[in-house]
């Protein structure tokens, strides 16, 4: 039922909670996880508008390096509990990239946090989780904050 999981993460606390849930799904027959992170194109665009080119390139490199570090960490954690792991870092609009990857692989389930970095108290769901629930063809398991 949960053989192949797609786990999109923004490395937030809520996504960390979703990660611990992914780990537990191993005992429910899950075998394989694709962990993905999207470097948000709109944040990068804002950055490039307010910084000089060399500054922007340094910050972008730094963001990429930090994302790969976080990814490596998650990959190891998941391998420790016996998962076959694929990691992907994409650049673009998070919702679009998540839906694109979801369509590519035949995932049994998408595990996602209800909220992410913004974590606004009044919101029932963040914009990414809301769109994924709305638009993905796969079942979606939303881990609440
Ligand atoms: P918003 O971004 O709308 O201000 P938020 O940050 O609280 O709200 P979302 O961005 O919807 O909430 O995050 C919900 C979940 O979606 C996260 O826990 C994570 O699983 C996934 N997610 C969010 N952003 C990304 C991203 N850039 N790359 C991969 N997964 C993401
Ligand atoms: Mn967000």
**What is the rounded CA–CA span in Å between residue 118 and residue 115?**
7
CATH code for the domain of 77: 3.40.50.620
39, 44, 46, 51: CA torsion to nearest 10: 150
CA distances from 145 to 1, 56, 68, 121 (A): 24, 33, 24, 10
Q: Per the domain annotation, does 22 fall within a domain?
A: yes
In a mutational test of the pocket of ligand 1, which residue from 14, 113, 128 has the highest number of ligand atoms less than 8 Å from its CB? 128
For each of the chain's 145 residues, which pLDDT tens digit applies? Answer: 899 999 999 999 999 999 999 999 999 999 999 999 999 999 999 999 999 999 999 999 999 999 999 999 999 999 999 999 999 999 999 999 999 999 999 999 999 999 999 999 999 999 999 999 999 999 999 999 9
Q: Per the domain annotation, does 59 fall within a domain?
A: no
Q: Per the domain annotation, does 61 fall within a domain?
A: no
Q: Supply the range of the domain harboring residue 21.
A: 4-38+71-143
State pTM to two decimals: 0.97
Say which ligand is closest to the CA of 8: 1
Q: Per the domain annotation, does 122 fall within a domain?
A: yes
């Amino acid at each position: 039922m949960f053989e192949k999981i797609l786990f999109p993460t923004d490395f937030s606390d809520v996504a960390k909670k979703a990660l611990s849930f992914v780990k537990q799904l191993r005992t429910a027959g899950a075998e394989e996880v694709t962990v993905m992170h999207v470097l948000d194109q709109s944040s990068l665009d804002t950055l490039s508008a307010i910084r000089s080119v060399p500054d922007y390139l340094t910050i972008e490199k730094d963001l990429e390096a930090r994302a790969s570090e976080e990814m490596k960490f998650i990959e190891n954690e998941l391998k420790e509990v016996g998962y076959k792991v694929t990691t992907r870092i994409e650049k673009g609009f998070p919702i679009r990239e998540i839906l694109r990857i979801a369509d590519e692989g035949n995932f049994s389930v998408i595990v996602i946090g209800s909220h992410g970095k913004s974590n606004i108290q009044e919101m029932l769901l963040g914009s990414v989780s809301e769109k994924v629930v709305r638009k993905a063809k796969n079942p979606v398991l939303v881990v609440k904050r």
